[in-house]
Structure 1
Amino acid sequence: MNDSNAVQEKRWDGHLFARTLPLGFDPNYDQCDKPVQRRISFLVPNFSPPSSFRLSRSRPCIALDSEVEFTGKTCELSLYLYDGASESKIVQLFRNADEPFSNTLKRIQISLSKKMGSKCKKSKSNNKNDVADLPSVWKQEEASAVELDISEVSCGALLQEHCKKQIFLQIPVVGCDEPLRVIIEANPPTITSVSSFDNLQANIFAKVPVHVQVSCLFATSAVVDWYADGVLVQNDSSLYVPTDKDIGKEVTVCIRPYRTDEHDGEGCQEAYSFTKRVEPFPENTLLAIRPEWTKPRLSTDSNLRVLTYNILADQNCTPSWHPYCDEAVLLKQRRFPLIVHEILSYHADIICLQEVDEHIFQKLLQPVLNAYGYAGYYSSKKTDGQMEGCGMFINSKRLEWNSCESHELKSALPIDGPGHDSWDSSDDIYKLLKQRPDLEEIILCKLGHILQLAQVREKTTGAEILVGNTHLFFHPNASHIRTLQMWSILRLLAQAKVNASSTDQRIILCGDFNSSLVNSCGKLLIEGVVPTNHRDLKDHLNAFQWGERGRRFETATSDDDFPEISVGDNFQQMNSAIIPAPAFTHLIPGFSANLDHIVISNGLVPLSHANMPTEDMLSFMPNENAPSDHVSLLCDLAIVS
């Protein structure tokens, strides 16, 4: 071994993946941030370094730069040994990045010896003649190799210095005739997280997009390839839409992280298989009656297409709430991929969603819609026990955000007493809340409903549009609460309009109002005023209570009046974009009503809206062909002066 000409070639015995993790990075990422139960060896080639590297001590040792700061960082070291045609992890260590690499190497040697059934004793002598019994680090130099001086080098510094070079270890192991030769992959492109909706356990349907999110370290990006029963069907895409030819097949993704011009990622791949095979697409009743709305839109189409949809939060979709429905149809793994397909089918420019579970937004809606060119944001309700809220998306090709905000509706109510607020009816609302502390507690302490507000600019015309998205209190006997919530919404819209950069700003308000537009909150929205005790306001005010077991409607315990509420000249007139009003947008046993709305201001003209179903088309919702208990609303608007 002392003469470079006498060096014998030898295959590598294994390799060491060594990474310096950033400060605060969870070293357990491989178990915590990946669906490891779905990881497979399919399509992942074994790491196979070239066999032509030679060892030589004929050249002097190389000193490394040890001035880089690594305090607090962690080095992850995973050593694999070859066993015939396969490889297996033998040792995994986590060491401080500022630890001398000589100490790290001794720990690897001890662990390796134990794993291989031998005992490795630490040398009591520092005699340099004992070097054959100590592990060493080598760097490939053209046709020979040079031993590195690691006496003053930290683990992190070694990996940083040589992440672009070929270095390897010689590790003597008691009981082995020759030292093990292990090649080091220093800070290789590394997959740190892999996620897909429901950890790759959701239903997969033909025509419905499937998406995988990948995060990496020491990598420029990652190539994601898709396979159906082992056959490549999609190259280099985070998204795949199965076809009818894939029905019955198993879907697998192979992920290869890479670092441009430095590392192609070979040997760093990981593969994952989805739990369920591809299923035929179940007919969607709404899409079937709206064929004109699912055709691709022309590039010359200047109309603004708006969609609002209560998608039924998973926490609200239970057999106890929907006993008429097959439990398998209620599962989020089935419903939400179908909802995403319906949303995308409409090619809308503005999408307003209600009852959006936070994890559904993060793991499904946002990544998939982003892949289709939408930008979105999410706002959660502030009500205790609620993990759902509203989500809004805009078509980034046509629109851009100027701002995105979320407001609690109760934040707009008057709280400073009479004379402190110039908005119409402020004093009357303040007096009502003080007169009825039970109502004040419900609105200010129990309910956390929100309004999403987005200032949006149309790129072609420069027109500015204020888009609101909300979901009001659900109880059928709480019209007094919804009326106060609508007053808050109109106030927040007016304030946003005043603060807008354009005085010619148009308004679109979407959402599930849990009320028709002829009831009190709708009347306030459309006409700007609600008379004293309008319709059920007085009855609901005096009988609705919030008991220990939740909301309930009881015999009236008081005889208070609900005052006239108005917005006066503070706000412009609004009108429904869906004319005539649908017979219903919500259909369950014993109840059907028009609860969902798209309302617009001057400067926007409704041109057409998507067909609405009849009750005999749908049966009760949700069902096998309708994934929510609400009907989506869709319309085209013209932007006018």
Structure 2
Amino acid sequence: MIGKFIHCCSLHSLVYQQLRATALSTSLRSLRPHSTAVAMDKVYLRNAQNTEELHITFRYANQGLKLDRSFNFCRRMSERVDEALLRIRNNVEKELTKKSKKKPKGAAAVETPLTPITPNEIVVEFRREGSEEQILGVTFEELLKNSADGLKLRIHDTNFDVLLNQPWIDSVQLPSSILAGFPVYPLKLELEFASREHSRAEWYRAVKPANGIFNEKTSWERCAEGLIYQTSSSDVDHHLKLVIRPGNEQGILGPATECISKLPVQPGPIDCPFEQRHQYTKQPLSDPNAIRVVSYNLLADLYADGDYARKTLFPYCAANALKIDYRKQLFIKELLGYNADLMCLQEVDLKIFEHDLKHVLHSFTGIMTPKGTCAEGIALFYRSTRFELVKNYVLHLGDNISTLPVFTPLWNRIKSNEQLAKRICERSTTLQLSLLQVKETGRYVLVANTHLYFHPDADHIRLLQIGFSLIFVEHIYKQVIKERNITSQNIGLIFCGDFNSVPECGIYKLMTEQFVGKDFVDWSSNEEQAVKDVELRQPFLMSSACGTPPYTNYTTLFAACLDYIFYQSDCFDLLQSVPLPTLEQLSENEAIPSIKFPSDHVALVADLAFKSC
């Protein structure tokens, strides 16, 4: 882009008060934005590896005492069970007292408990199955040293089976924006002792009742199963409910958790231009020598979410269409529809990579490379069934161009210009270079992905950045050929990215003509930092798969061709380049991003095929 989480009757009352004052507070499950169907006869203990925290969760229901409540405690493994049991008893008693004092409708407050409670009545204790002896004087670590098998927790007249480290959902949340015709999935899903692939999920829908409250009488219609649901127009105005049972590879399922969307499904945009482009990519490529490549700048949220973006960069874009919860639905559906083999993405938010792309692009393996300390970066996704990752290289240019031996010749020619040297070394520009092997053929693909520095007077910086990048690529390319004992016909280079450079500039010339002379105009884009007596060469015969279209970036402030898929033309043939959106489509809502375009850039899509040996 341009510009851019006890049984306590034997204890003295003073000890009771001290423990009561210092114990950790209880958080009730009902206060969370999701609810877990905790079994009434189970108590769940969870202690993550290498941690001291012990979470205790159970549901206590007693009709006689008119209590049905889930409790969640956080204790420590080094704590004596006596102290924790005292805390449990205290909170059960407190809930009973609150219940007894609750004012019935149309009646005065009840000052006397409905069921009188004394300290000796509520029994809370641990026992082993078949034993009448209380377990006291040990820590939780000692209690659970071997396992929780046969361990029971008694609360008043209820006996609970103790389960240790069962599959568990710590947090689940649905997105605030759900569009009809687009995939929906948990915005957030945090699992303990469980995995997504072994968990079970079901989707339901319902129209919110007239009183605005969902309850046990609400009729929910089952829609689908699985963690991803493809919504349709029939879901409009319905709230969605996701019910998940966490599971592990042993086939054990934990208690179900449900989450209801805050807002109903909204109508999605229709006739998005990327849907027309999908007509060229209806099926994945079947030729083992063919590779479909996508390069796409997604527009990171930190560049779209702010007053500067709303008022200066993209004032023409509807406010809701700039929000990441809206935009990500569009670019995820767009990416899925290209049926690609390789996807080189730029301006990828770390949170989007972790919580969205990694899980929705489930046929792919993703590699994320942050851009310095920034919350966004570049990412490669490769189809897992087709490629095996041999090695991934990360080059932070600013940190390495003055230190890596391979860069010494070029660095020595520019380092005397202190302003130039300082500026290029302060940049967070990153190159991601991945060596992949095609499983079907054994051939190799060297995939480079980058997002070069933007500034109007920085043509010289970008040209140097691509020069250093190609030096590194050439070094790795030769190293792979030597180490793998292969010929150049069995390895091909694909270089993708947002180069922030128009075709008239030196980057395109260097990539496609292999040479930029010392007198080229880019070297003088900043007079004080002008590059003197430097020429660049690179050994690869490269072509632009999508040519030089008028626009790959289109805003009211700037519109031009900045993005490219360069490929090694003596190694690959170009099978097709998917047509880009028309000017009419790009300007339908003045510019992009818009309600139909999730980014200020458009995706490039091309099919390549290895040449016959």
Q: Scaled by the length of structure 1, what TM-score is found?
A: 0.75
In structure 2, C-alpha distance between the alignment counterparts of 1:465 and 1:578, rounded to whole Å: 19
Give matches, 1:57-206, under 5 Å: 73-82=52-61, 84=63, 88-89=68-69, 92-117=72-97, 135-139=124-128, 146-151=131-136, 153-159=138-144, 163-165=148-150, 167-169=152-154, 171=156, 180-187=157-164, 189-195=166-172, 200-206=175-181
Q: Is this contact kept in 1: 2:205–2:240, CA < 8 A?
A: yes
Q: Which residue of 2 aligns with 1:433?
A: 415
In structure 1, C-alpha distance between the alignment counterparts of 2:532 and 2:176, rounded to whole Å: 51
In structure 1, C-alpha distance between the alignment counterparts of 2:90 and 2:26, rounded to whole Å: 25
Q: Is this contact kept in 1: 2:168–2:193, CA < 8 A?
A: no
Cα shift at 1:443: 0.9
Q: Is this contact kept in 2: 1:308–1:353, CA < 8 A?
A: yes
Task: State the one-letter code of the partner of 2:179.
Answer: I
SS at match of 2:314: coil
Q: Which residue of 2 aligns with 1:359?
A: 351
Q: Which residue of 1 aligns with 2:224?
A: 234
SS at match of 2:183: coil
1:324 aligns with 2:305: no
Q: Is this contact kept in 1: 2:437–2:443, CA < 8 A?
A: yes
In structure 2, C-alpha distance between the alignment counterparts of 1:432 and 1:133, rounded to whole Å: 80
In structure 1, C-alpha distance between the alignment counterparts of 2:291 and 2:245, rounded to whole Å: 40
Deviations 1:119-160 (A, max 9, x none): 8669xxxxxxxxx9965444555xxxx414524654344456
In structure 2, C-alpha distance between the alignment counterparts of 1:191 and 1:29, rounded to whole Å: 18
Which stretch shifts more, 605-614 or 284-293?
284-293
Q: Percent sequence identity over matched residues?
A: 24
Q: Which residue of 2 aligns with 1:507?
A: 493
Q: Is this contact kept in 1: 2:278–2:337, CA < 8 A?
A: no
In structure 2, C-alpha distance between the alignment counterparts of 1:260 and 1:351, rounded to whole Å: 30
Q: Is this contact kept in 2: 1:35–1:195, CA < 8 A?
A: no
Name the CA shift for 1:258/1:103 in 2 (closer, same or farther; >3 Å): same
Q: Which residue of 2 aligns with 1:54?
A: none
Cα shift at 1:629: 0.9
- Name which of 425, 432, 449 aligns with 1:444: 425
1:393 aligns with 2:381: yes
Q: Which residue of 1 aligns with 2:554?
A: 587
In structure 2, C-alpha distance between the alignment counterparts of 1:428 and 1:159, rounded to whole Å: 63
Task: State the one-letter code of the partner of 1:74.
Answer: E
Q: Which residue of 2 aligns with 1:283?
A: 270
Q: Is this contact kept in 2: 1:468–1:508, CA < 8 A?
A: yes
1:210 aligns with 2:164: no
Which stretch shifts more, 455-464 or 298-307?
298-307
Task: State the one-letter code of the partner of 1:496.
Answer: I
Q: Is this contact kept in 2: 1:349–1:395, CA < 8 A?
A: yes
Deviations 1:205-229 (A, max 9, x none): 3232424664444557432222122
Cα shift at 1:108: 3.2
Give matches, 1:559-578, under 5 Å: 562-567=532-537, 571-578=539-546
In structure 1, C-alpha distance between the alignment counterparts of 2:192 and 2:25, rounded to whole Å: 14
Q: Which residue of 2 aligns with 1:11?
A: none
Name the CA shift for 1:441/1:260 in 2 (closer, same or farther; >3 Å): closer
- Tell which structure's C-alpha radius of gyration is larger: 1
Task: State the one-letter code of the partner of 2:140.
Answer: C
Cα shift at 1:291: 4.3
Task: State the one-letter code of the partner of 1:251.
Answer: L
Name the CA shift for 1:535/1:158 in 2 (closer, same or farther; >3 Å): same
Q: Which residue of 1 aligns with 2:513?
A: 527
Cα shift at 1:399: 1.2
Deviations 1:451-476 (A, max 9, x none): 01100111101110100000111123
Name the CA shift for 1:591/1:73 in 2 (closer, same or farther; >3 Å): closer
Q: Is this contact kept in 2: 1:287–1:294, CA < 8 A?
A: no
Task: List alignment gaps of at least 5 residues for structure 2.
Answer: 1-23, 43-48, 98-115, 207-219
In structure 2, C-alpha distance between the alignment counterparts of 1:483 and 1:613, rounded to whole Å: 28
Deviations 1:42-62 (A, max 9, x none): xx6563449xxxxxxxxxxxx
SS at match of 1:490: helix
In structure 1, C-alpha distance between the alignment counterparts of 2:461 and 2:240, rounded to whole Å: 49
Name the CA shift for 1:440/1:189 in 2 (closer, same or farther; >3 Å): same
Give matches, 1:234-633, under 5 Å: 234-235=224-225, 237-258=226-247, 264-265=253-254, 268-283=255-270, 285-297=272-284, 299-300=286-287, 302-317=289-304, 318-319=309-310, 320-369=312-361, 371=362, 373-382=363-372, 386-411=374-399, 413-414=401-402, 427=409, 429-434=411-416, 436-445=417-426, 447-500=427-480, 501=484, 502-504=486-488, 505-538=491-524, 540-542=525-527, 562-567=532-537, 571-579=539-547, 581-601=548-568, 602-619=570-587, 620-633=591-604
Task: State the one-letter code of the partner of 2:182.
Answer: K
Name the CA shift for 1:630/1:541 in 2 (closer, same or farther; >3 Å): same
Cα shift at 1:379: 0.8
In structure 2, C-alpha distance between the alignment counterparts of 1:295 and 1:35, rounded to whole Å: 45
SS at match of 1:578: coil
Q: Which residue of 2 aligns with 1:62?
A: none
Name the CA shift for 1:495/1:29 in 2 (closer, same or farther; >3 Å): farther
Q: Which residue of 1 aligns with 2:109?
A: none
Deviations 1:374-427 (A, max 9, x none): 001111112x6x3211111001111121112211123553569xxxx677xx64
Name the CA shift for 1:415/1:422 in 2 (closer, same or farther; >3 Å): closer
In structure 1, C-alpha distance between the alignment counterparts of 2:395 and 2:274, rounded to whole Å: 33
Name the CA shift for 1:74/1:496 in 2 (closer, same or farther; >3 Å): same
In structure 2, C-alpha distance between the alignment counterparts of 1:298 and 1:187, rounded to whole Å: 47
Name the CA shift for 1:136/1:251 in 2 (closer, same or farther; >3 Å): closer
In structure 2, C-alpha distance between the alignment counterparts of 1:35 and 1:107, rounded to whole Å: 19
Cα shift at 1:167: 2.3
In structure 1, C-alpha distance between the alignment counterparts of 2:251 and 2:351, rounded to whole Å: 36
Name the CA shift for 1:28/1:241 in 2 (closer, same or farther; >3 Å): farther
In structure 2, C-alpha distance between the alignment counterparts of 1:87 and 1:492, rounded to whole Å: 68
In structure 1, C-alpha distance between the alignment counterparts of 2:368 and 2:447, rounded to whole Å: 14
How many residues in Structure 1 have an aligned counterpart in Structure 2?
534
In structure 2, C-alpha distance between the alignment counterparts of 1:222 and 1:631, rounded to whole Å: 36
Task: List alignment gaps of at least 5 residues for structure 1.
Answer: 1-26, 51-69, 123-131, 172-179, 545-559
SS at match of 1:205: coil
Cα shift at 1:190: 4.5
Q: Is this contact kept in 1: 2:187–2:356, CA < 8 A?
A: no
Name the CA shift for 1:321/1:83 in 2 (closer, same or farther; >3 Å): farther
Q: Is this contact kept in 1: 2:284–2:340, CA < 8 A?
A: no
Task: State the one-letter code of the partner of 1:475.
Answer: H
Q: Scaled by the length of structure 2, what TM-score is found?
A: 0.78
Cα shift at 1:279: 2.7
Q: Is this contact kept in 1: 2:176–2:261, CA < 8 A?
A: yes
Cα shift at 1:499: 2.1
- Name which of 33, 37, 40 aligns with 1:38: 33
